[in-house]
Structure 1
Amino acid sequence: MKWYKLVFKQNQPIHIGSTRWGVINETEVFIPGWTMWGALTNQFLKTNGFDKIDESKKIFEKITNFYPMIGQGKEEPSQLQPLFPQYKGGVFSLGDYTEEEFKFKFVDTLVSTAVEPILRSAKDESLHEFEYILPRSKLDFDNISKQLYWVGLIGFEDEAIKEINSLIKNNNNNQKEVNAKKENEKLDMSDLLKQFFSKIYIGGDSKYGFGEMELIYSINEVTEKELKEWNINESGTASIGDNYRLRQFFKFSNEVKFEGELKLLSEFDFTQNIPRVQDAGYFINVGSKVSDFNGIDLNKYRLIKGKFIEID
């Protein structure tokens, strides 16, 4: 399996569905793997055609969660450090920022309400607040605004690369480009990723000026050490040391001892007219620290859309 590091520059505000408290529709402060998977798959299908949706869905499944990086100046974004999740004093944090501190710098709120057309007054119970992550931080005391980037990993097995090549060859829109290539030419995945995902749209309200992100780096030199930082083996199974913080969600089991919290995660199928729950279950949250797996074989846990799930 070959792993690629993807670095996206955020161009527009984004909203990542999280929880709703009364009138407040909160945003998540990182991008779950299944959300990024949905954006990549959707863009691939729009570019390459919707003939083989089921095959295309499987191509990008081996993907991590994506975490923010803060641009400090003129440094290369690929050299920035991800704000990995952790719990500091029991408080969920990204790097050294607590969730509230991160939101103070990078999250704003849009307040809206419906209006009674005759009275021109606010309609009862229609007020709501919509949180979104800004592409640049709010101005600090030095009148400086910092750019936000997002980083994560994606893995492709040889069969997945062949499937991508096959889907491209079978698409009439790309036939001229394919014919220009030699049949035995090896597919350059870095160039292909940049071609397909130069722009993607992620999260909610993409029709209203939200969600645009730009792929600026596709790096295929991911070291074994770096994979381990993301809890992954080269084969795509879990690699988590004792008391190491989770970068991916881990399917909950009674045998696992950890410090952190549990999350009920639901994955929806939006290909139907009415979205339906496709999968749901309890997972140990990212940032949690596992102290003992009690003999669980981590080689049986495979990365799927930012979650480690036991594979029979």
Structure 2
Amino acid sequence: MWRTINVVFKLKTPLHIGYLPSKSSVVSPTRYYIPGRNLWGAVTKRTAENLFKKPAAHHYKNTGKDIMNNFVFSYFYIYDGKTIYSPSYTDEGIKYGHDIKITRAEFEHRFIGSQISTAIEPGSSTAKDQSLHEIEFINNKSCDKTGTPEDVKVTGWIWIKEDAKINNREVDVDAGIFIDNFNIIQELILGGESKYGFGHVLLDGVNKIAPPFEVKVQDSVTVSSEFLISHLKYDKNLNFRGDLELLAGRGYFDPETQRGGSGPGATISKPQYYFTPGTKLEDKTYFRMTWDGKLRLSA
């Protein structure tokens, strides 16, 4: 059996969740949500660095395996205190919001920003050729309908096995997720561009929100939703309304094959096509969620 915790993070700094560029005007676009794999990576790093004084590559790898075998991370979406801004492909195009839906333009105006930087030629103090770099990000501040500034938050769900142990230490779930009285989700660094200060999130609360989808928790975590709440591997036999994406990842090791382990970013997982979050499948609404939040068709 599993224990369930709803988690809300507040963005202390802007958040960049990178993927392959899709817009010519943006060199480094961001996802508008946080995949479960990003949560797993950040929690693995924080946990290993708390458990070991000088963690080596094998410490990160073994900690990551333990967490992968005992945790399930949903995708996390922007949350304004009322609405969870998950995507859905409607007859009018893609919309954001699980209840009150807004257009992509409205969503980007409220939550998405970018910054441009360039390298400078030391001799002429002019921009270096081909060095212009634009980074898109989820803002850590937005304005409500009255124009009042407010913190941007993200929310999602984490499931932990009842008998979970990380490095032979028990896992307690209360106002956070604790190992040796250390809250491994109190603050995290998520996504890319952390050298510029991006990706710092702070725990804002737990168990405040009921999921906007049906959940059944037994031997596995099964969810039911009209629109996909995370990626699902492409199947040519499925009729759908939505989009496809080629997914790959990199890290210390490939969690699926266990290859690698020599250093951060050393291993790239095999690219595969997936239905994107928000896609609607005909007659398929029940899915089993894997450790990184991806979905598989439920039998």
TM range (shorter): 0.7 to 0.9
TM-score normalised to structure 2 length:
0.80
Alignment of 1:1-312 (within 5 A): 1-20=2-21, 21-22=23-24, 24-49=27-52, 50=55, 52-58=59-65, 59=67, 61-71=71-81, 80-89=82-91, 91-95=93-97, 96-137=101-142, 142-160=146-164, 163-164=165-166, 166-167=168-169, 188-191=172-175, 193=177, 195-219=183-207, 226=210, 229-230=212-213, 232-235=215-218, 236-240=220-224, 244-270=226-252, 272=263, 275-293=266-284, 301-309=288-296
Measured on the aligned residues, the alpha-carbon RMSD in Å equals 2.9
SS at match of 1:115: coil
Change (3 A) 1:19 1:98: farther
More strand as a share of residues: 2
- Whether the 8 Å contact between 1:302 and 1:311 is mirrored in structure 2 is no
**Is this contact kept in 2: 1:109–1:132, CA < 8 A?**
yes
Q: Which amino acid aligns with 2:238?
A: V
1:203-241 Cα shifts (integer Å, max 9, x gaps) = 11222221111112233x98xxx56x4464213343336
Give 3-state SS (helix, strand or coil) of 1:25's partner. coil
TM-score w.r.t. length of structure 1: 0.77
* Structure with more helix by fraction: 1
Q: SS in structure 1 opposite 2:19?
A: strand
Q: How many residues align?
A: 272
Partner secondary structure for residue 250 of structure 2:
strand
Q: Distance in 2 between matches of 1:212 and 1:166?
A: 28
User: 1:252 & 1:12 partners in 2: Cα distance?
Assistant: 34
Distance 1:245 1:310 in 2: 13
Residue 150 of structure 1 and its aligned partner are, at CA, apart by 0.8
Partner Cα separation in structure 2 for residue 143 and residue 302 of structure 1 = 38
The runs of at least 4 consecutive aligned structure 1 residues that moved more than 6 Å come to: none
Tell me: CA distance 1:2–1:279, structure 2 relative to 1, closer, same or farther (3 Å): farther
Aligned to 1:179: none
Deviation at 1:90, TM superposition (A): 5.3
**Greater radius of gyration (CA):** 1
CA distance in 1, matches of 2:229, 2:264: 33
Structure 1 SS opposite 2:203: strand
- The Cα shift of 1:56 comes to 2.1
Identity of aligned residues (%): 26
Q: Distance in 1 between matches of 2:216 and 2:233?
A: 17
Unaligned runs of 5+ in 2: 253-260
Looking at structure 2, the residues matched to 56 and 138 of structure 1 have their Cα atoms a distance apart, in angstroms, of: 39
Task: Check conservation: 1:19, 1:27, Cα contact below 8 A.
Answer: no
